[in-house]
Amino acid sequence: MSVATLSMRRRRFSSVSLSGFHDIAYVEWGDDGVAPPVICVHGLTRNGRDFDRLAAALAAARKVVCPDVVGRGRSAWLPDPAAYSYAQYCTDMTALIARLDCEAVDWVGTSMGGLIGMMLAALPNTPIRRLVLNDIGPFVPRQAIRRIADYVGKDPVFAELAGLEAYLRQVHAPFGALDDAAWMHLALHGHRRLPDGRYGLAYDPVIARSFQDAPDQDVDLWPIWEKVRCPLLVLRGAESDLLLPDTARRMAEKAELVEITSVGHAPSLMVEDQIATVSAWLARS
């Protein structure tokens, strides 16, 4: 994936939890432009490099920043499993926005990253100007939570990177049809090398604790959704079990809704038509 080094810079900063300071890693593309920076935030077990193709497309006109949420990718792991919470994620992303030294940002969030963006966008005086929610909404059915809980936190180990890639192809099959280079990219940036030379997934397995400890029930965030006032684009995988059709239709009362065919949870944002949809919407004044 040659776009990965086009104009990308690796950065880090410190944020804080009750246990102390921790590092947040991110990659930065492009330069400051007329439009505000775009912050792209990944899903539960993924990392900021998932957005390389989208970021390369956007970076010609503006700065794009793709963080690894704490406990994922190159960011630090927290000593207290209970600290992996949306309150912590919002705190860290607020620190990132402050580091960018800008009055406003546009936000692209996949699944968990979308929920973080929605929570921040719902706050008074939010810096989020435009918000893209990728296959996530204010209602998450318990069945989808159970499915995710089935694989999050199992911490499989692989003798070779090819085995890890095969695992990602299976677990993330709902991403839809991706080329071989995309799957290898996900594996290259979605693994950690273990002391014995084998390969593990690039996230802290204890992030699963929030699923294990949570009540077995739907998640209802409609009161937060009602407070969001910025322009909204909602992407839905047509086969998604997480963003249900009825939820998407209700969201469409105040958001632009685009459904992606032959995709479940979640659209990868790594294929040309999805990249074009997001790029064109963010370019609107």
At 228-259, the pLDDT tens digits run 999 999 999 999 999 999 999 999 999 999 99
- The per-residue pLDDT for 33 is 85
Kindly report the pTM of this predicted structure.
Answer: 0.96
Q: Is residue 238 part of a domain?
A: yes
Intervals of the chain under pLDDT 50: 1-5
Q: Is residue 166 part of a domain?
A: no
- pLDDT, residue 150, reads 81
Residue 54 lies in a domain: yes
Query: What's residue 4's pLDDT?
Result: 43
Which residue, among 268, 227, 209, has the nearest Cα to 88 in the 3D structure?
A: 209
Query: Does 29 map to a domain?
Result: yes
Amino acid letter for position 158: F
Number of domains forming the structure of the chain: 1
How far is residue 33's CA from residue 12's CA, in Å, rounded to a whole number?
22
Start-to-end Cα distance in the chain: 31
Is residue 1 domain-resident?
no
Instruction: Identify the domain containing residue 49 by its residue range.
Output: 10-151+218-282
In this prediction, residue 152 carries a pLDDT of 87
Strands, DSSP E only, in the chain? 8-17, 20-29, 38-41, 64-67, 105-110, 128-134, 139-140, 157-158, 191-193, 199-201, 219-220, 232-237, 256-260
Q: Is residue 60 part of a domain?
A: yes
3-49: per-residue pLDDT in tens? 444 589 999 999 999 999 999 999 999 999 889 999 999 999 999 99
The answer to whether residue 199 sits within a structural domain is no
Rounded Cα–Cα distance for residues 235 and 250 (Å): 13
Tell me, what's the pLDDT at 149? 82
At 117, which CATH number? 3.40.50.1820
Distance CA 220, CA 261 (A): 26
> What b/e readout covers 186-197, taking b as 16+ CB neighbours within 10 angstroms?
bbebbbeeeeee
Report yes or no on 180 lying in a domain: no
Interatomic CA distance for residues 165 and 154, integer angstroms: 16
